[in-house]
């Protein structure tokens, strides 16, 4: 507990996460970078505000996940244990609540490209899903202009089907009309660069080709607010350039882009503002260079 | 632990430098909450706008479902046929369920195919939300699209098995009759019922994770109660000497029995034949309308909660 309190004093208001992850937090005490741990006020106005009206407002957002996972080591899932648990009227041990986002507030403006950085499990993806309106907030609220959409039709695609069928399926899943699908089809094939592989099932694709097709499909639609979760990590260099250009284009066309990536270079090149999430809270928010420098030190 | 929490809240409020609260800022620029359940008419319209997705999703699932097995789509016909063969031997021959039923093979197969359609729709519906959490957490669409697509997928499969059924019924010696034109009407009513039942099961399956384990037992009990391989009338009134009202309840309170009865009356006409009596029609229509309306309303009520896990 001593370590934990120490950490608490460094990182203001660091609430221990779920009971389950508590131990983990203790096990790897942070290389406490005192300079980085001084949180800047979270709602610093972003640098080039004046151009824009707000498009996304996140107001003291808390997200609590319910996770059904394997039981702990103590209580492996055998039938006798399950029965005694029911008899004693205990809840399912498999069900855990994860407090993934703890009181995040910020305002995003028209024309912003916001990078979100943080360690694994710091709540980046959860925050994106909440902004997209796919995860109901536990408390607080997300206000948006138009419909934010997550870049990622992966879940709708089926590996056994040909690229051709998947393009059509993916486009419909994003809410296009048949006319739009017809119009975009060739563009998607060209952009992904998979050529004649479009006739083959996606299960035969290399991971790079699959990623390219998925990015091509999901970026075919114009979005008011676009949320990108690690989409640029895969693909070769040429394709990465292409997709960076496309993100820039989307940013010009529409409104606001949120980008989660572990590759900080991508964030530095595409974003004009970076939010650093740490254990579900905003640790820093502002100019990419400043935040990334602090993040690299921490 | 609550003290540092509020400390940061204060810090943040201070950092905003006396700006207006975020909720007010949002209201001033006309921003809306990201999660909100649309009103029911709007919801139905959104669903209609997604019809291409629903159809494509159903077809795609059908194509990919059997892509790994050698016989492929043939299983859609083989499965109910094999089931019917087993039931024919067990209940028709060994246990003598055949009784005085006219043209037992046609009687059994009609019951089997019609019941299988409803059973599969209900089972698929229960998995439609809980089995697609990643899709629900990634994209926006009216969630009812999923159970709908699953029922349509079953309907597409039924179209094939219905063709097989008609051929078999002809082989067993039934004449083609004008009443066969009523087959699509019964199927339409049954489909409406299945959609409604699928929607109800989808919401239940999303919150009750043990439902999928229980369902096989529930549907098997349902199968036995629906008179698929025996005549309810004959067993209840004839063998068990129960009053006629018990048999009536078993026919009309059980949608599956109603649809099976209607379909048999239409297809099996060589015994002199009669079209389904009014009471059967009323039951078929009632269950279709009731299930559809209740199913949509019930599913819509939890629209914003699906996907939370």
* Chain B residues 203-222 within an 8 A CB cutoff of chain A: 209
- Is the Cβ–Cβ distance between A43 and A107 less than 8 Å? yes
- Whether the CB of A14 is below 8 Å from some CB of chain B: the reply is yes
Mean pLDDT of A56-83: 70
Residue of B nearest to A149 (CA): B139
Number of domains in chain A: 1
* Beta-bridge partners for A260: A116, A229
Mutant choice from A151, A169, A173, A185 vs B, greatest count of B C-beta within 10 A: A173
Give the angle B49-B52-B58 at the CA atoms, nearest 5°. 130
Strands A256-260 and A113-117: parallel
Q: What is the ipTM of this complex?
A: 0.76
- Whether A130 maps to a domain, the answer reads yes
Q: Tokens 């809410």 map to which residue?
A: A175
Average pLDDT over chain B, rounded to an integer:
82
* CB distance B228 to B108 below 8 Å: yes
- Measure in Å the smallest separation between the Cα of B301 and chain A Cα atoms: 15
Residue A143's H or E segment, with its range, is strand A139-144
Residues of chain A with Cβ-Cβ distance to B145 below 8 Å are none
**Which residue does chain A place closest to B57, by CA atoms?**
A169
Domain residue limits, chain B:
1-32, 38-305
Cα A264 to Cα A266: distance, rounded to the nearest angstrom: 5
For residue A173, give the nearest of B12, B53, B63 by CB distance.
B53
Q: Is B226 within 8 Å of B254 (Cβ atoms)?
A: yes
Let me know if residue A71 belongs to a domain: no
Query: Which residue range(s) make up the domain with A143?
Result: 30-64+101-147+223-297
Mean pLDDT by 10 residues, chain B (309 residues): 39 45 75 76 89 91 78 75 81 73 83 90 90 82 91 88 85 82 91 94 87 90 86 77 80 89 85 76 92 93 76
Distance of CA A212 to the CA centre of its chain: 19
B258: region left, alpha or beta (phi > 0 left; psi from -120 to 50 alpha): alpha
Chain B interface, mutation test: which of A79, A133, A228, A229, most B Cβ atoms within 10 Å?
A133
Dump pLDDT digits (tens) for A151-189. Answer: 766 778 888 888 888 899 988 888 888 888 888 888 888
A139-144 and A256-260 as β-strands: parallel, antiparallel, unpaired? unpaired
Position B63 scores a pLDDT of 83
Task: Give residue B252's pLDDT.
Answer: 84
Binding-face residues of A in 174-193 toward B, CB within 8 A: 174-175, 177-178
At B272 the pLDDT is 67
Sign of CA dihedral B228, B162, B255, B306: positive
**Alpha helix locations (H) across B1-93?**
2-15, 22-28, 40-49, 51-65, 75-87
Q: Is A156 part of the contact surface with chain B (CB cutoff 8 Å)?
A: yes
CA dist., res. A62 & res. A103, Å (int): 5
A16 found inside a domain: no
* Amino acid A21: pLDDT: 38
User: Phi and psi (nearest 5°) for A73?
Assistant: -60, -35
Q: B300 to chain A, minimum CA–CA distance in Å?
A: 16
**In chain A, which residues have their Cβ closer than 8 Å to the Cβ of B32?**
143-145
Cβ atoms of residues A263 and A233 within 8 Å = yes
Q: In whole angstroms, give the CA distance from residue B47 to residue A37.
A: 48
Nearest by CB: B60 against A12, A67, A161: A161
- Taking an 8 Å cut-off on Cβ atoms, the answer to whether B34 and A131 are in contact is yes
CA distance B234 to chain A (A): 43
A289-293: which pairs have CB atoms within 8 A and are 24 or more residues apart?
A: A291/A117, A292/A117, A292/A264, A292/A267, A292/A268
CA–CA separation, A145 and A47 (whole Å): 21
DSSP state, A28? Answer: S
pLDDT value of position B291: 93
Residue A6 domain-assigned (yes or no): no
B53/A132 Cβ within 8 A: no
pLDDT in tens, A201-222: 888 888 778 888 888 888 887 7
- Whether the predicted pLDDT of A30 surpasses 50: no
Hey, what long-range contacts does A232-240 have (CB within 8 A, 24 or more apart)? A232/A259, A232/A261, A232/A263, A232/A266, A233/A261, A233/A262, A233/A263, A234/A207, A234/A208, A235/A208, A235/A211, A236/A208, A239/A193, A239/A208, A239/A212, A240/A266
pLDDT greater than 90 at residue A230: no
Residues ≥6 apart with Cβ < 8 Å to A16: A4, A22, A25, B1
**Chain B residue whose CA is closest to A12:** B4
Does B60 contact A59 at a Cβ distance shorter than 8 Å? no
pLDDT for res A90? 60
Interface of A with B in 121-150 (CB under 8 A): 129-137, 141-145, 147-150
B37 contact partners, CB below 8 Å, separation of at least 6: B43, B300, B303, B304
pLDDT band at A68 (very low <50, low <70, confident <90, very high): low
């Amino acid at each position: 507990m001593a370590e934990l309190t120490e950490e608490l004093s460094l990182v203001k208001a660091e609430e221990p996460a779920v009971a389950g992850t508590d131990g983990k937090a203790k096990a790897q005490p942070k290389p406490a970078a005192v300079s980085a741990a001084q949180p800047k006020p979270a709602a610093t106005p972003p640098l080039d505000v004046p151009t824009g009206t707000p498009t996304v407002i996140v107001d003291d957002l808390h997200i609590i996940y319910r996770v059904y996972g394997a039981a702990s080591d103590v209580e492996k899932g055998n039938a006798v244990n399950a029965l005694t648990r029911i008899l004693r009227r205990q809840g399912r041990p498999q069900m855990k609540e994860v407090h993934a986002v703890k009181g995040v507030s910020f305002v995003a403006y028209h024309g912003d490209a916001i990078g979100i950085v943080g360690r694994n499990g710091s709540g980046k993806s959860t925050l994106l899903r909440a902004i997209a309106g796919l995860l109901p907030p536990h408390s607080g609220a997300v206000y948006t202009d138009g419909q934010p959409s997550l870049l990622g039709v992966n879940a709708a695609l089926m590996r056994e089907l040909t690229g051709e069928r998947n393009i059509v399926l993916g486009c419909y899943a994003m809410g296009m009309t048949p006319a739009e699908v017809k119009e975009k089809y060739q563009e998607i094939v060209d952009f992904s660069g998979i050529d004649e592989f479009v006739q083959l099932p996606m299960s035969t694709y290399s991971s790079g080709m699959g990623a390219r097709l998925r990015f091509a499909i999901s970026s075919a639609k114009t979005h008011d607010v676009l949320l990108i979760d690690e989409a640029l990590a895969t693909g070769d260099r040429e394709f990465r350039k292409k997709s960076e250009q496309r993100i820039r284009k989307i940013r010009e066309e529409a409104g606001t882009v949120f980008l989660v990536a572990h590759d900080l270079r991508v964030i530095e090149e595409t974003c004009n503002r970076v939010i650093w999430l740490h254990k579900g809270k905003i640790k820093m928010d502002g100019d990419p260079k400043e935040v990334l420098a602090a993040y690299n030190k921490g | 632990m609550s003290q540092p929490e509020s400390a940061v809240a204060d810090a943040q409020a201070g950092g905003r430098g006396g700006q207006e609260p975020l909720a007010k800022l949002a209201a001033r620029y006309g921003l809306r909450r990201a999660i909100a359940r649309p009103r029911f008419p709007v919801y139905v319209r959104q669903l209609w706008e997604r019809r291409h997705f629903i159809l494509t999703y159903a077809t795609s699932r059908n194509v990919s479902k059997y892509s790994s097995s050698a016989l492929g789509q043939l299983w859609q016909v083989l499965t109910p046929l094999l089931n019917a063969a087993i039931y024919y031997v067990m209940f028709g021959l060994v246990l003598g369920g055949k009784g005085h039923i006219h043209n037992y093979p046609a009687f059994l197969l009609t019951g089997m195919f019609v019941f299988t359609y409803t059973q599969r729709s209900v089972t698929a519906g229960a998995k439609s939300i809980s089995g697609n959490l990643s899709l629900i957490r990634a994209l926006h669409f009216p969630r009812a699209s999923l159970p709908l697509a699953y029922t349509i997928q079953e309907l597409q499969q039924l179209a094939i098995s219905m063709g097989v059924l008609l051929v078999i019924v002809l082989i067993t010696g039934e004449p083609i009759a004008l009443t066969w034109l009523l087959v699509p009407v019964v199927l339409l009513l049954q489909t409406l019922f299945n959609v409604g039942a699928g929607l109800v099961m989808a919401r239940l399956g999303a919150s009750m994770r043990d439902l999928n384990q229980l369902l096989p037992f529930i549907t098997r009990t349902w199968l036995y109660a629906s008179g698929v391989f025996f005549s309810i009338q004959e067993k209840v009134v004839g063998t068990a000497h129960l009053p006629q009202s018990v048999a009536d309840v078993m026919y009309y309170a059980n949608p599956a029995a109603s649809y099976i009865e209607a379909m048999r009356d239409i297809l099996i006409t060589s015994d002199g034949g009669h079209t389904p009596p009014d009471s059967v029609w009323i039951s078929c229509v009632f269950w279709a309308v009731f299930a559809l309306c209740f199913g949509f309303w019930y599913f819509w009520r939890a629209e914003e909660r699906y996907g939370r896990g």
